Amino acid sequence: METHDDTAARCKLWFRTPRPRPDARMRLLCFPHASGSASFFRDWQSHLPETVEVRTVQYPGREDRIVEPVMENLEELAQAVAEASRPLADRPLALFGHSMGSVVAYEVAQRMPQFGVRPEMLFVSGLPAPHRQRRAMVHERDDAGLLQELRRLDGSSSEVLDDPELRELILGAARGDYRMLETYEHSGHPPLDIPVHGFIADQDTEVTESEAREWRETTTREFDLRQFEGDHFYLVPRRAELLEELMERLAPTVKAPA
């Protein structure tokens, strides 16, 4: 039987808290893109009010989990994250995912209730709806082909990709992540009973407006879609605008009595 210490250890393994805010009224749990890590969201906390605490998911095989094997099954990843979220049930929780992180967040939201966690809403960014995933085989490319894809999307700094040792580590995580996404099959979950809010960029080659609007099929509640200027990683230069949009939607929960 799992103890309280076991539950706390699992939570600590999977989630990072850049700036803990124990008195925050709600949490925003962020899911990185393919090849991404928790540090991608490290600056978000300083741009959000004290009423919101940012936690980020750290996938195995990168940063402080670099010695762990990269996961290659998206459903298994989502199950592990959902189980680790048990201690987060003490206050309202919203999920935000970018690119691959969107579908991971969606699958986690589907599984959280079995562990006593009921998220308030889901934010998805830069990815087609789960049942509209594109079929690609990037994970089967050689290292040069995979590196070309990472440079095309500009998800990692060129300095990191130019360093042979760091590049090798990144390529291992990227290949596993692409395999997860490209072998993912939407299992026909019932629609979520929470609002879903979508974000895309007008020059993003990874998702069309039509593909993004299909996220409306994943919920029985409200859905909207906001488009920004930019490419697949619009959320870096447009961070302030994106966080303003998030806070507008989170405001009723944030302002509610703790």
pLDDT tens digits, 218-230: 999 999 999 999 9
In a domain, 137, yes or no: no
Tokens standing for residue 242: 């994106």
Active site residue 189: no
pLDDT tens figures, 29-49: 999 999 899 999 999 999 999
What is residue 95's three-state secondary structure? strand
CA end-to-end span of the chain: 32
* DSSP symbols for 96-154: EEETHHHHHHHHHHHHGGGGT---SEEEEESS--GGG-----GGGS-HHHHHHHHHHHT
Cβ proximity of 201 and 228 under 8 Å: yes
Position 148 in a domain? no
* Structural domain contains residue 31: yes
Verify whether residue 232 is a known catalytic residue. yes
Instruction: Please indicate, yes or no, if residue 255 is contained in any of the structural domains.
Output: no
| Tens of pLDDT, residues 180-203 | 999 999 888 999 999 999 999 999
**Predicted model pTM:** 0.93
Contact between 29 and 18 (Cβ < 8 Å): no
CA neighbor of 207 nearest in space, from 195, 219, 215: 215
Q: Which one of the listed residues 33, 98, 197, 232 is annotated catalytic? A: 232
Catalytic residue (choose from 99, 102, 125, 156): 99
Total tally of structural domains belonging to the chain: 1
Q: What is the dihedral of CA 41, 43, 47, 49, to 10 degrees?
A: 70
Q: In degrees to the nearest 10, what's the CA dihedral of 190, 176, 87, 114?
A: 30
Q: What is the mean pLDDT of the chain?
A: 91
Which range has the top average pLDDT, 2-11, 106-115, 147-156? Answer: 106-115
In a domain, 194, yes or no: yes
Look at the block and give the residue holding tokens 């940063």: 63
* Confidence (pLDDT) at 1: 63
Q: How far apart are CA 168 and CA 161, in angstroms?
A: 9
The enclosing domain of 219 has a CATH number of: 3.40.50.1820
With respect to residue 206, please indicate whether it lies within any of the assigned structural domains.
yes
What is the model's pLDDT at position 257? 62
For the cut 90, the answer to whether the pLDDT of residue 239 exceeds it is: yes
Residue 196 lies in a domain: yes
> From its phi and psi, is residue 126 left (phi > 0), alpha (psi between -120 and 50) or beta?
left
Which of 176, 215, 175 shows the shortest CA–CA distance to 194?
215
The range of the structural domain enclosing residue 124 comes to: 4-131+188-250
